[in-house]
């Protein structure tokens, strides 16, 4: 079944069933070293290069806590308005997997470092965040060539697991929640948020219940979703699958699932474990994590403006619409690009024009050409040159778009392109009047039609003037001169 068919079926069942969704988001922190050892954390190193006896779980070694991880964790807690526990505990979560060298994972269980945060969606709905805890990542299994391999570079990399309440009510809400969470960690500069590299991964807990019923249904867990699109696709499919089961009188089983992006379907991975299966107990090698008020305030002093605050400022100070402000602040680098360009052109170019050009022309090229941040092909300085030329009247809107297309293709500065192509807009009234007079003479029949009330003919006449000027005449002046010439022609007749 295609995604389109899934969507149609999904919309049909919403009248009968209410989805209940909770997300567990695993966010890799961009520290220089791992959570409990000094091994590097960079992505893309040779397999098993960044390992040591501690992260390999060899006998006789002791973990030691990376204090920067705790500071990053506090930043996240403050950003979502959570309560930070003064004393928290690391625990061992027992399970076996080939890429878990110790046979257990060091995480936090009944005493996480923070609880009771929240995140607001654009609709105004507030999604409670039940807890965030620190833990170490596992390694990575690689399957292929009739063999399986294990790369333990990732083992021990610090993670924050951010657990929402089961308060999301649609795949779209889950997509938006995850996107906003990613924006926060990027603004806080605690993670690069790169989903393609696994810096953020998401497990989705999904259940459905009959409309009007308060009791929750049986939930399934979809593991390791690593793109916004796949989060939405997987949850949509799982809701449909569960509805089909209930409609046929079959019970939903509590299982762990994987999502196959190629087929668009979820597949059973294993029966779902509960807390007793993991046999949690406090890690005997790690003491209490103690966070006092002085440390909280020291970390709070390092926080910069968050997406919601920046969007509010863009709306109130620059007069942007809420929608434009939210879109501009969705990516930290995009917001910085807007502010950089605006600082170079204000007050010549209004903020609304800067925002409009960035959200249309710039973002279109950014997406089509698959630029990554920071995108240096079109610099803020060059983009500002273009917008100044447009608003000062030296470039028409059409010419400005031509210049921008070349900027995006070649990386050349706007001023260089304008000079090289001879694209400066002509504002000489006498020169414009001379061409307008020629057009009026050569198209006397169309002028006569216009004078009888055929207003559309005027656009044709304007087009003829701009064609002869190769688009370099000021369009506003062309309109004025053409009306003046037609009026004079009519008076003479």
| Domain count within the chain | 3
Same domain, 444 and 391: no
Q: How far apart are CA 341 and CA 13, in angstroms?
A: 47
- What parts of the chain have a pLDDT lower than 70? 1-2, 4, 271-275, 423-426, 428, 490-493
Q: What is the pLDDT of residue 462?
A: 82
The residue range of the domain holding 402 is 307-421
Q: What is the pLDDT of residue 12?
A: 81
Same domain, 17 and 143: yes
Whether 256 and 225 have beta carbons less than 8 Å apart is answered as no
Q: How far apart are CA 386 and CA 421, in angstroms?
A: 14
Same domain, 122 and 271: yes
Q: How far apart are CA 25 and CA 82, in angstroms?
A: 16
- Both tokens of 338, joined, read 């807007």
Q: What is the pLDDT of residue 425?
A: 66
Q: What is the pLDDT of residue 409?
A: 92
Same domain, 258 and 336: no
What's the 3-state SS for 7-52? Answer: HHHHHHHCCCEEEEEEEEEEEECCCCECCCCCCECCCCCCCCCCCC
Residue where one domain finishes, among candidates 421, 440, 473: 421
pLDDT tens-digit profile of 320-340? 999 999 999 999 999 999 999
Same domain, 210 and 349: no
Q: What is the CATH number of the domain that holds 450?
A: 1.10.10.410
- Both tokens of 103, joined, read 């046979």
- Identify which of 197, 200, 164, 166 has the alpha carbon closest to the alpha carbon of residue 183: 200
Q: How far apart are CA 441 and CA 409, in angstroms?
A: 41
Same domain, 43 and 68: yes
Q: How far apart are CA 416 and CA 491, in angstroms?
A: 46
Same domain, 270 and 361: no
Same domain, 215 and 354: no
Q: What is the pLDDT of residue 415?
A: 86
User: Quick one: CA dihedral 150, 105, 272, 162, positive or negative?
Assistant: negative
Residue where one domain finishes, among candidates 367, 391, 421: 421
Which residue is associated with the tokens 């990027």? 186
Residue where one domain finishes, among candidates 257, 283, 299: 299
Same domain, 81 and 112: yes
Q: What is the CA radius of gyration of the chain?
A: 30
Same domain, 139 and 181: yes
The H-assigned helical ranges of 369-455 are 380-391, 397-410, 414-421, 429-442, 444-451
For residue 142, what are the β-bridge partners?
Answer: 149
Same domain, 404 and 286: no
DSSP designation for 253: P
- Containing 312, the helix (H) or strand (E) segment is helix 307-318
Same domain, 347 and 460: no
213 CB-near residues (< 8 Å, 6+ apart): 18
């Amino acid at each position: 079944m295609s995604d389109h068919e899934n969507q149609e079926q999904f919309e049909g069942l919403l009248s009968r069933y209410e989805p209940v969704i909770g997300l567990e988001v695993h966010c890799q922190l961009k520290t220089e070293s791992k959570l409990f050892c000094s091994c590097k954390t960079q992505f893309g190193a040779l397999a098993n290069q960044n390992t040591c006896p501690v992260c390999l779980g060899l006998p006789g070694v002791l973990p030691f806590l990376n204090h920067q991880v705790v500071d990053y964790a506090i930043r996240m807690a403050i950003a979502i308005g959570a309560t930070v526990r003064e004393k928290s505990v690391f625990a061992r979560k027992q399970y076996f997997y080939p890429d878990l060298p110790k046979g257990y994972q060091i995480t936090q269980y009944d005493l996480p470092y923070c609880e009771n945060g929240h995140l607001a969606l654009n609709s105004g709905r507030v999604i409670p965040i039940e807890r965030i805890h620190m833990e170490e990542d596992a390694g990575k299994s690689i399957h292929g060539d009739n063999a399986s391999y294990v790369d333990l570079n990732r083992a021990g990399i610090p993670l924050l697991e951010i657990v929402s309440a089961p308060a999301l009510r649609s795949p779209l809400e889950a997509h938006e929640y995850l996107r906003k969470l990613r924006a926060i960690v990027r603004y806080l500069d605690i993670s690069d948020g790169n989903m393609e590299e696994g810096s953020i991964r998401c497990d989705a807990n999904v259940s459905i219940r009959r409309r009007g019923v308060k009791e929750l249904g049986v939930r399934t867990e979809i593991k390791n979703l690593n793109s916004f699109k796949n989060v939405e696709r997987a949850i949509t499919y799982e809701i449909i699958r569960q509805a089909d089961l209930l409609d046929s009188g079959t019970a939903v089983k509590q299982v762990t699932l994987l999502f196959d992006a190629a087929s668009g379907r979820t597949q059973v991975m294993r029966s779902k474990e509960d807390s007793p299966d993991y046999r949690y107990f406090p890690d005997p090698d790690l003491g209490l994590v103690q966070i006092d008020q002085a440390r909280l305030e020291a970390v709070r002093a390092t926080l910069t403006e968050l997406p919601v605050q920046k969007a509010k400022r863009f709306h109130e100070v620059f007069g942007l619409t809420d929608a434009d402000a939210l879109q501009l602040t969705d990516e930290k680098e995009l917001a910085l690009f807007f502010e950089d360009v605006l600082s170079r052109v204000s007050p010549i170019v209004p903020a609304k024009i800067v925002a409009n050009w960035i959200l249309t022309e710039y973002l279109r090229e950014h997406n089509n050409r698959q630029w990554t941040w920071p995108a240096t092909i079109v610099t803020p300085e060059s983009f500002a040159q273009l917008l100044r030329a447009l608003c000062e009247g030296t470039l028409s809107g059409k010419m400005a778009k031509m210049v921008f297309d070349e900027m995006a293709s070649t990386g050349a500065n706007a001023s260089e392109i304008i000079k090289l192509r001879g694209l400066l807009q002509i504002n000489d009234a006498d020169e414009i009047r001379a061409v307008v007079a020629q057009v009026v003479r050569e198209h006397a029949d169309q002028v006569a039609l216009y004078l009888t009330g055929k207003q559309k003919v005027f656009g044709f006449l304007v087009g003829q003037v701009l064609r002869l000027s190769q688009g370099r005449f000021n369009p506003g002046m062309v309109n004025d001169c053409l009306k003046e010439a037609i009026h004079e022609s009519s008076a003479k007749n």
